[in-house]
Every structure is written in C-alpha cells, then in structure tokens.
Amino acid sequence: MTVSPDLRLAVRTRAAFACEYCGVTEADTGGELTIDHFRPRAYDGSNDPDNLLYCCHSCNTFKADYWPLPGEPTLWNPRESPVAAHFLLLADGTLHPRTDQGSFTLRRLRLNRSPLVAYRQRRMAQTERERLLDRYRELVTALDQLTSQQAALLREQHELLQLQRELLQLLLAHNDPPAES
C-alpha cells in the first residue's frame, strides 16, 4: 500500500511542508520528510488522507508502528487537535505537556531532544528579531511622518513670522507722527 505522488503532495501541502509532530520543515532538513500512517498499516491503517501525517524521519522512527492496545496511552494526533492543546512552549525551547496525551507523545517521540530544543530556540530568536525589526520599521515610519510634520510646521511658522513682520512695519508706518516741515 504505497502512497501515490498526488496524495503525497496533498499531505505535504496540507502540512505546510513541515513535520506535523515537531514542526521541522523541509527547508530546515534540506529535503522531503516522510509520510506516516497515524494508525499504522500493521493495525489496519489506511491511506485515507485523514490517517496520513507528514513527519520528519526522527519522529517517524520514534513513533514506529505504535498503536495503543486497550488501556495503553494514545499519541497526540496533529490532524485532530492543535499543538497548543497538548504542549506549552517554554522560553528555553522545551515543550511542557498540558495533557496526558501530550505527556505520552512528548516521551514517545522525544520531542525535547537536543536538536529540536536548539531548533526551537533559533526559531524563537528569529521570531523575536523579526518582531523587533517590524517595530523598528514602524518607529522609522513614525519618525519620518513626524519629521515631515515638523518641516511643514516650520514652514508655516516662517510664513507667519514674515506676515507678522509685515504687519508690524505697517503699524509702525501708520503710527509714525507726520514729519514737521
């Protein structure tokens, strides 16, 4: 039961070309990732798009063909609930489980493995740099607008001073006593 190229592309595209478990992208790994059967084929998992996940080689290896037997914990299914429902990203780049399912998935897939933590730290740093750059651009734009407004006000002030000078000259000329002959 192989996955057709069209279905593979559909799964990749739906996942935004990133591992649906850990978030690593094709660009980060330098190549395509793998297709994972959430319910493994060994346990009657199908090629139905809802059963297919795009994932990195490490997550796929750690997941293997896990399928819970009665009473065993279940893995988080990224197709059914968002990552934030099960994991909290901490400032140090590690994931903290929010649910039992998240806790089991974190251990099973080793989602706090060193390269992933370093990857998350780099992404958080990049996100912060982009946020600061956006803020810098906003401030530069505001400064440009203020500079333009200041220049307009200075021109207006110059014109008003010129008018004031002319008015004072008229008043002085009008109030001067007539010259005696």
Q: What b/e string do you get for 67-98 counting C-beta neighbours within 10 Å, with b at 16 or more? A: beeeeeeebbbbeeeebeebbeeeeebbbebe
pLDDT digits (tens, 9 = 90+) for 67-82: 999 999 999 999 999 9
The domains of the chain are located at 5-112
CA–CA dist 81, 99 (Å, integer):
12
pLDDT digits (tens, 9 = 90+) for 38-56: 999 999 999 999 999 999 9
What's the pTM? 0.75
